[in-house]
Homo-oligomer: A and B are copies of this chain.
Amino acid sequence: MVESPSSLVERLLGQRVTLLLKDARQLAGTLLGVDEHMNLVLDDADETTAEISRHLGRVVVRGSNVVTVHAVQAAPKGP
């Protein structure tokens, strides 16, 4: 049950993912593309910082700014 970083990123194509960036900014969107530098394309992306939240649409993210990439998980719904 081994999975390489690049195979996981490719398997996430078409799914909603969350990126944590070095400046603590988070981006959530549908992963449309990736290259060998871990530059990423997100569609329908939203950006969230400690102060603001805004819609960016389709966005290119330079890989050198990325800390983590993970699939958005269905949030547990409260009662």
Contact = CB atoms under 8 A, between A and B. Distances in A.
Interface of A: 1-9, 13-14, 21-25, 27, 32-35, 38-41, 43, 45, 47, 55-71, 73
Copies in the complex: 7
Contacts of A35: 4-6
Contacts of A55: 73
A56 B24 CA distance: 15
Contacts of A9: 60
Contacts of A66: 62
Given A55-B73, A68-B62, A73-B55, A5 B34 contact: yes
Contacts of A69: 59-60
